[in-house]
Amino acid sequence: MIIHPIDFRYGTPEMKKVWSEENRFSCIVKAETALAYSLGVCGIISKADADEIIGKAGFASHKRAREIEEENSHEVMAIIQAISEACGDVGRFVHFGATSNDILDTALGLQIKEALDILDEKLRHLLSVLLKRAEETKHLVCIGRTHGQHALPMTYGLRFAVWAAETARHLERLDELRPRVCVGKLTGAVGTMASLGKDGIRVQDEMMKYLNLEAVDVSTQVVSRDRYAEYIFFLANCVTTLEKIAVEIRSLQRTEIGEVAEPFGKNQVGSSAMPHKRNPIKCEQVCGLARIVRGMVEPALLNNTLWDERDLTNSATERITFPEASVLTDHCLKIMANVIGNLTINEEAVSYNLHYLQGVNLAESLMTEAAKRGMARQTAHEIIRKASLLALDEKRPLSEVLEGSEIMSLFEKEEVLEYLNADAYVGLAVEQVESLVSKLSVHLHSAV
């Protein structure tokens, strides 16, 4: 019986595979194999015995481990026994000097490493899509909005560039995150390495080198969960950016605004009752799933507050938070890259909205120039403020309302129209977009 929507509705095959029970078992076997290798390198067991474990451990059966766990109710001991059976006589050295979480946390480090590789690729793809759209629309002037109200003109390219810059910062965070979360340990039951004696640090270092993971400097019985809280927060931060983009698209797709529309299939149905509907369901899905991922930040933080050298309160939580947060974040990245890449922009609606206030939203341009020409800035502000409110009330062009005002003593009529031209008041929007595209394109290509 399938219950969880991740099993049939959300997530990519590649990320689901990382957090599958089978891959977890495989990572645990890799950790045990690495332990055997390091024991051999350090002379604690013979190299021949280590090589035999390395060669045979992969034949351990997940099914057999499950059967054993049904009897002994201890997951790690069941896996150890399954590996030992597969290794024959040298199986007696499997798990030598280790405690359960030496293996479990190290295996988790391998899973997180795989997950970050996938997220890195998805973030880079999203960044490339955003940069492409920024370049395509760098000259497309639109109305900017603050507080949900028309503000000053900007460009769609600038909007895409802001999202691209934020995505690039997530890639930087991901790189910074790797050495802190892709870690393993072999410190034993309370962190002293007592079971390995003077060779403990060397054995741990060799084990992590074999797995291409960072070794913890110190730990209790478990890797400190501040590391994993940072990973979960990284995922929450990523999906919040995606939600931010999705919210803006949803807003701009409102019937009354109509500037953009997320992709809509030829045979797609918007509503069972209203045949005309074209709802932004992909963006709405991302917004909904982002709430789930963010909701996992607090449990991740609480998992660091374990009793003494450890308790088991983190275990059940992490079996849920790691797979769900990783799979849903990856899913949202894929969805939003597709939405943005295929986003329809209605330039007619963009132009209509840009000129809707008939120059009122260009009041800043005129006020600034009046101040440059000698009028006190606050005086100009008050004159234009009153004229703007009157223009809004009477639905008249601001230039018309200003006729006969003190402002007009500074300008020719044609000049006023020039300063109230929306297309001419986008500042350095184009230059900023071009600079960012150039900067991040180089960064993107050099990092791949």
Q: Which residues are catalytic?
A: 147, 271
Compute the chain's Rg from CA coordinates. 30
Burial state string for 404-438 with b = 16 or more CB within 10 A and e = fewer than 16: eeebeebbeeeebeebbebeebbeebeebbbebbe
Query: Within 10 Å of residue 233's Cβ, how many Cβ atoms?
Result: 19
Reduced to 3 states (helix: H, G, I; strand: E, B; else coil), residue 285 is: helix
Reduced to 3 states (helix: H, G, I; strand: E, B; else coil), residue 261 is: strand
Q: What is the dihedral of CA 257, 263, 268, 273, to 10 degrees?
A: -20
What tokens appear for 423 in the block?
Answer: 């297309």
What is the C-alpha separation between 167 and 444, in angstroms, rounded? 11
What is the C-alpha separation between 373 and 90, in angstroms, rounded? 91
Distances, alpha carbon 293 to alpha carbons 229, 231, 246, 298, 426, in Å: 12, 12, 16, 10, 37
What is the C-alpha separation between 246 and 283, in angstroms, rounded? 5
Q: What is the DSSP letter of 137?
A: T
What is the C-alpha separation between 159 and 154, in angstroms, rounded? 8
Q: Which residues in 160-223 belong to E strands, given as ranges?
A: 183-184, 214-215
Unique residue bearing structure tokens 């275990």: 315
* Residue 35 near residue 103 (C-beta atoms within 8 A): yes
Nearest to 107 by CA among 51, 186, 188: 186
What tokens appear for 418 in the block?
Answer: 């020039």
Unique residue bearing structure tokens 């007696």: 92
* Residue 309 near residue 191 (C-beta atoms within 8 A): yes
Nearest to 191 by CA among 217, 157, 229: 217
* Residue 364 near residue 404 (C-beta atoms within 8 A): no
DSSP secondary structure letters along 164-221: HHHHHHHHHHHHHHHHHHSEE----SSSS-GGGGGGHHHHHHHHHHHHT-EEPSS-SS
DSSP secondary structure letters along 222-233: S--THHHHHHHH
